[in-house]
């Protein structure tokens, strides 16, 4: 079945459908990971985005029920150079194409993903439409232009859990996760570090959170513009200085806003499993997983209170902060992921130590 990918600037890519039929709109971004496509598809942070994989062959080890980061895929659509029809893995339960059809995700293959990636790098991430129904290029260009962007938009409401619930029921430390689109592996890492994990919806107020008796708060990853969820930022402001806080990705951005900083949209974002980040304290460089289109402005933070801990070596953007007086720190990258493979896992240990000191 024929399919078209049309950008808001009128650029057209012709290909074939390999997922569900239909039409989807979203911001086109590219991901440089060579593997992990199932984790990417189910990362709630991709809500509102059409993901293009730069590695040319995707789907060669299929899909299984264990390597998911949420209950379902959240990408708006999926773009690859070639979708493998053969899946070679003892853990494989179904093909990538079958998985996309089951979850009503539109996929397109056979396009020049290198050309698309280069276009995004030069022109910036932009809105687009993928369709197997309407193949009129002018119509699709108009639809792309008219589709909602990410700036100022609240996408968290579409990914957060609806009710407060327990991830596990045992652990030395009681950690409350403010869910703005949390990945399962963050929850798994907390459990492995002897934490009893309670997940609360993004709309939960500080009073409700304190009523759960937490030893620490984790601000999770999530989709879109952090300035689009001012209600979460206000909750974080009420938590500051009262309890240890660890922020990851979107949580890092919300913490930055709560501490008086500002955020801005990156030209084409950071998406992939090979981003070098320097720990300024140790001098070590970690290979990190990243998935964000917005960033905290380093110059907007009060350096008397806030220490810069990590820097992205590709573009020198902010990757980590720590408060000099309060038990608060955060990182822009994903320490629960494994590109290094375990370069950044020490951050969970630091969170544990911070809670130990606070409880002493």
Active site residues: 249, 334, 336
Show Cβ contacts of residue 226 under 8 Å, excluding neighbours closer than 6 positions: 233, 250, 253, 254, 256, 257, 263, 294
How large is the greatest C-alpha to C-alpha distance in the chain, in angstroms? 66
Q: Is 59 left (phi over 0), alpha (psi -120 to 50) or beta?
A: left
Here the tokens at position 178 are 């403010």
Task: Give the C-alpha separation, 219 to 178, whole Å.
Answer: 5
Other C-beta atoms lying within 10 Å of the C-beta of residue 70: 19
| 326-348 b/e (C-beta count within 10 Å ≥ 16 → b) | bbbbbbbbbbbbbbeeebbbebb
Q: Where are the alpha helices (DSSP H) in 1-77?
A: 37-41
Specify the pairing of strand 306-312 against strand 285-296.
Answer: unpaired
Structure tokens at 58: 């995707």
CA 288 to chain centre: 13
Q: Which of 159, 36, 181 lies closest to 96 in space, CA to CA?
A: 36
């Amino acid at each position: 079945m024929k399919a078209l990918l049309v950008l808001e600037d009128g650029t057209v890519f012709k290909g074939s459908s390999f997922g569900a039929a239909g039409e989807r709109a979203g911001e086109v971004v590219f991901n440089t990971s060579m593997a992990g496509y199932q984790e990417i598809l189910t990362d709630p942070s991709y809500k509102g985005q059409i993901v293009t994989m730069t590695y040319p062959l995707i789907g060669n080890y299929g899909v299984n029920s264990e390597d998911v980061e949420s209950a379902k895929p959240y990408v708006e659509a999926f773009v690859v150079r070639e979708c493998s029809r053969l899946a070679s893995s003892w853990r494989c339960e179904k093909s990538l194409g079958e998985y996309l059809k089951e979850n009503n995700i539109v996929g397109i293959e056979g396009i020049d993903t290198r050309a698309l990636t280069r276009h995004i790098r030069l022109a910036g991430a932009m809105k687009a439409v993928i369709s197997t129904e309407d193949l009129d290029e002018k119509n699709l260009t108009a639809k792309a232009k008219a589709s909602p962007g990410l700036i100022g938009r609240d996408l968290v409401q579409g990914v957060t859990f609806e009710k407060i619930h327990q991830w596990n029921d045992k652990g030395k430390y009681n950690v409350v996760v403010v869910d703005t689109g949390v990945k399962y592996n963050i929850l798994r890492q907390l459990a492995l570090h002897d934490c009893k994990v309670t997940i609360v919806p993004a709309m939960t107020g500080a009073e409700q959170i304190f009523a759960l008796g937490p030893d620490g708060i984790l601000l999770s990853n999530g989709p879109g513009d952090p300035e689009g969820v001012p209600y979460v930022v206000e909750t974080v402001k009420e938590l500051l200085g009262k309890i240890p806080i660890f922020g990851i990705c979107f949580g890092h951005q919300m913490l930055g806003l709560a501490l008086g900083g500002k955020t801005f949209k990156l030209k084409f974002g950071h998406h992939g499993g090979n981003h070098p980040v320097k720990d300024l304290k140790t001098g070590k460089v970690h290979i990190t997983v990243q998935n964000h289109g917005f960033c905290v402005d380093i110059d907007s933070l009060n350096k008397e209170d806030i220490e810069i801990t990590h820097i992205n070596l590709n573009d020198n953007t902010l990757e980590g902060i720590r408060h000099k007086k309060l038990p608060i720190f955060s990182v822009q990258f994903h320490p629960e992921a494994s590109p290094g493979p375990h370069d950044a896992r020490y951050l969970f240990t630091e969170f544990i130590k911070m809670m130990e000191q606070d409880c002493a």
